[in-house]
């Protein structure tokens, strides 16, 4: 398995000054619209996690839902949505966080995960680490057996320290590091 696959790197679009000046937005939609790139990402994620006993994949709103649900199906695991406040219909737990251009909060259903689950938290991008760290805190409150964390892209070339912000205690993998 080749991480930092050149085909994927060549199909990743960057948009300067979006959503505000100074942010170089990495647009994963160009990876999702390409069938070969989508298949490569699915295969790489499957190879990384096929022997980990994953029972639930938690996808971050919204781009984390795409590959999160694909890998959940491939691993024969359930899929849990981590959403912005007020968008889940049943009882939720919430965690607030700071991201690269503001503050926000994330919620998951209280009954989404239990102590028998092995959880993979998945998002498209690791920049500052705020969203995924908040989701990890939520998942930990539900006491799963074990947690893993994955991103399609980790941005390190802009001085971002997302991995460091998350801290120790969880195995983190990324398919592309910039």
pLDDT digits (tens, 9 = 90+) for 101-144: 678 999 999 999 999 999 999 999 998 899 999 999 999 999 99
Neighbours of 41 (CB within 10 A): 23
Average predicted confidence (pLDDT) for the chain: 94
Q: What is the distance in angstroms between the CA of the first residue and the CA of the last residue of the chain?
A: 18
Residue 99 clears pLDDT 90, i.e. is over it: no
pTM here?
Answer: 0.94
Judged against a pLDDT cut of 70, whether residue 5 lies above it is answered with: yes
Question: Known catalytic residue: 107?
Answer: no
Nearest to 121 by CA among 167, 34, 54: 54
Q: Are 22 and 52 in contact (CB under 8 A)?
A: no
Of residues 63, 83, 95, 154, which has the active-site annotation?
63
63 a catalytic residue:
yes
Which pLDDT does position 100 carry in this prediction? 62
Architecture of the domain delimited by 52-177: 3-Layer(aba) Sandwich (3.40)
- Which of 42, 61, 100, 156 is labelled catalytic? 100
pLDDT digits (tens, 9 = 90+) for 154-177: 998 777 889 999 999 999 999 999
pLDDT tens, 17-75?
998 898 889 999 999 999 999 999 999 999 999 999 999 999 999 999 999 999 999 99
7 falls in which pLDDT band (50, 70, 90)? very high
Give pLDDT, residue 1: 58
User: CA distances (Å), 76 to each of 26, 46, 49, 61, 172, in order?
Assistant: 29, 11, 11, 21, 21
Contact 177, 4 (CB under 8 A): yes
């Amino acid at each position: 398995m080749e991480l930092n696959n050149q085909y994927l790197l060549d199909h990743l679009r960057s948009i300067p000054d979006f959503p505000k000046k100074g942010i170089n937005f990495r647009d994963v939609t160009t990876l999702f619209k390409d069938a070969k790139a989508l298949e490569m990402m699915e295969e790489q994620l499957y190879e990384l996690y096929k022997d980990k006993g994953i029972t639930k994949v938690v996808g971050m709103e919204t781009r984390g839902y795409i590959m999160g649900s694909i890998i959940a199906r491939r691993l024969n695991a359930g899929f849990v949505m981590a959403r912005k406040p007020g968008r889940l219909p049943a009882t939720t737990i919430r965690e607030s966080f700071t991201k690269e251009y503001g503050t926000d909060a994330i919620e998951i259903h209280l009954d989404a995960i239990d102590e028998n689950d092995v959880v993979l938290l998945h998002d498209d991008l690791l920049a500052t680490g705020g969203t995924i760290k908040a989701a990890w805190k939520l998942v930990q409150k539900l006491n799963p057996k074990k947690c893993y964390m994955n991103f399609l892209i980790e941005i390190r070339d802009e001085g971002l320290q997302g991995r460091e912000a998350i801290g120790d205690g969880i195995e983190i993998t990324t398919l592309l590091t910039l």
